[in-house]
Structure 1
Amino acid sequence: MGQHITVIDYDPLWERKYEEESLLIKDILVDNCVAIYHIGSTSVEGLAAKPIIDIMVAVRSLEKVDRTAADFSKIGYEYLGEFGITGRRYLRKGGDERTYQIHIFQAEDWINIGRHLAFRDYMRTHKKERDEYAKIKKELARKFPYDIDGYCDGKENFVQKIEKLALSQFDGTWDKMYLAARNVQYEREISSLIEAGGVCAAILTNKGNIYVGVCIDTECSLGMCAERNAIANMITNGEKDICRVIAIGGKGKAIPPCGACREFMVQLMPENYQSIEIMLDYENKKIVKLGDITTSWWI
């Protein structure tokens, strides 16, 4: 018998299940894990769904992922390789009563990462389409309770239409910045006196370019914050106007720039530093302007 297809009303416990499973995944991938996301219908509050938690992971190296297949098997996953999508690693748990699916992409694979985030975010903010999707899925589940191909084919046109619409409206710049910064965030021992990489940062310029940097920590005061390292990279490449900044601490969480970095950006853009956007909470997209968190008494 094939996979059993059921569609039920949204369950708030799905988010907790994602959080718990994501910890297991991070423990296996360790430093190779750049970012992890709850995607698919169970990530959309209010949307009826198959009770299967879809998880997307961005990594530095798919080859390193392949070497963890046995570790994933120990926690119940089938490791199925690309499974029809080039550049993906697909894993599933639960057999015919599927419980979890993991979709792993290289961090630079924005086409695949972006389309999943765009679809999720669109469904989160558009009730009419969300309700329509729920109705389609419930009808298909009744019609094809053990025919996953029939179920998927039945919703394909709707999914393609929404994905195209979602991508046309999606601004994934913060996500691109987060991935770019996290991709260079790992500990480096440069010498007996210098370590680097514990904190990372990305900046977006008014030309749409993203520059990244990591912190450099020394035994004295000669080190450099990740934000200023990214800015130095920007200046080296002939630009000077910053639009957005995200700095990321050791646990993958956004952190505010320190006072020295704020003052550096003020001196770099004294006429319009107030407009620079700072990401304070990536998961909840909490953003402030530099002018709101920086005093201007000395200008």
Structure 2
Amino acid sequence: MSLIVAPDPTWPAQAKAEADRWTDSDVYGLIEVHHIGSTAVPGLPAKPIIDLIPVFESEAAMDTARLTIEALGFEWLGEFGLPGRRYCRADDAETGKRRVQAHCYVKGSDEITRHIAFRDALRANAALRAGYAAIKGKCAALHPGDMHGYGDCKSDWVQKVEAHAINALATKETS
């Protein structure tokens, strides 16, 4: 079973609806919510899971917001291996399949910059998108059903593109 599926043109609308649920619920300390990952890049095959980065004013605000986030149907897993992050996930009640992952960070986090720079680089460059689609397809074929193997397989490519995208962003900001 492949981990990735053909692009779904409804992914951005799904992400917006979920982000709106967060903002409409007055999640304490929430500043904004970004749609990231492959589902945020039109035309890119992806795991059919919406990735969001909710941005908070402080770590204390993230932790205070926990009960509200859980009331939205998310499982709260805390840092879940990444210091400074609060990871939450929501599964479809009927199928049990993951539908949304929220990677919460404090405003100004380098992780926010990294994810958005990567997303924006893919959105802006058709050749880069095609290259990433090819890497994703190869890794999914090599590691069917193995999320960790799939992630490890594409990791070097992603890290190189992220570094280039962050460098380009920094250069643009200083000029």
User: How far 1:63 moved relative to its partner?
Assistant: 1.8
More strand by percentage: 1
For residues 107 and 21 of structure 1, do their structure 2 counterparts lie closer, same or farther at Cα, with a shift above 3 Å needed?
A: same
Q: Which has the higher contact order (CA 8 A, sep 6+)?
A: 2
Structure 2 counterpart of 1:117: 116
In 2, the alpha carbon distance for the partners of 1:77 and 1:53 equals 13
The residue identity in structure 1 corresponding to 2:120 is D
State the TM-score, normalized to the length of structure 2. 0.87
Distance 2:127 2:153 in 1: 19
Aligned-residue RMSD, C-alpha: 2.3
- State whether structure 2 residue 56 is matched by structure 1 residue 56: no
Whole-angstrom CA distance in 1 between matches of 2:43 and 2:55:
26
Letter aligned with residue 68 of structure 1: A
**Does 1:101 pair with 2:101?**
yes
Instruction: Summarize deviations over 1:165-196 as a string: whole Å, max 9, x none.
Output: 1111115988xxxxxxxxxxxxxxxxxxxxxx
Asked whether the equivalents of residues 6 and 50 of structure 1 are also in contact (C-alpha less than 8 Å), the reply is yes
- Between the aligned partners of 2:66 and 2:27, the Cα distance in structure 1 is 14
How many aligned residue pairs are there?
171
2: CA distance, partners of 1:105 / 1:140: 28
Following TM superposition, the consecutive aligned residue runs of length 4 or more in structure 1 with deviations greater than 4 angstroms are 171-174
**Is contact 1:29-1:65 (8 Å) kept?**
no
Check the 8 A contact 1:28/1:68 in 2, yes or no.
Answer: no
Q: Is contact 2:3-2:147 (8 Å) kept?
A: no
Determine the structure 1 residue equivalent to 2:164. Answer: 165
In structure 2, distance between residues paired with 1:115 and 1:35: 16
Per the alignment, in what secondary structure is the counterpart of residue 98 of structure 2? coil
Q: Which amino acid aligns with 2:146?
A: D
Q: What's the TM-score once normalised by structure 1's chain length?
A: 0.53
Deviation at 1:121, TM superposition (A): 0.7
Q: Structure 1 CA distance, aligned partners of 2:12 and 2:127?
A: 22
CA contact (8 A) 2:91 2:100 kept: yes
Instruction: Encode CA deviations 1:197-226: one digit per residue, 9 max, x unaligned.
Output: xxxxxxxxxxx7xxxxxxxxxxxxxxxxxx
Aligned to 2:35: 38
Aligned to 1:137: 136
Cα distance between partner residues in 1 of 2:65 and 2:145: 31
CA distance in 2, matches of 1:62, 1:47: 33
Distance 1:81 1:29 in 2: 20
For residues 171 and 112 of structure 2, what CA distance do their matches in structure 1 show? 10
SS at 2:135's partner residue?
A: helix
Q: Distance in 1 between matches of 2:80 and 2:150?
A: 18
Question: Shift in Å at residue 35 of structure 1?
Answer: 1.9
| Aligned residue in 1 for 2:152 | 153
In structure 2, the CA distance between the partners of 1:35 and 1:71, relative to structure 1 (3 Å rule), is: closer
Contact kept? 1:60, 1:107, Cα under 8 Å: yes
1:41-92 deviations in Å (ceiling 9; x for gaps): 1111111111111111111122222233233223321111111221111111
In the TM superposition, what is the alpha-carbon distance from 1:40 to its structure 2 partner? 0.7
Please, which moves more after superposition, 127-136 or 69-78? 69-78
In the alignment, which residue of structure 2 is the partner of 1:10? 7
- 1:22 aligned residue: 19
Higher helix fraction: Structure 1 or Structure 2?
A: 2
State the alpha-carbon separation in 2 of the partners of residues 31 and 71 from structure 1.
8
Distance in structure 2 (CA, Å) of the matches to 1:140 and 1:69: 35
Q: % of aligned pairs identical?
A: 36
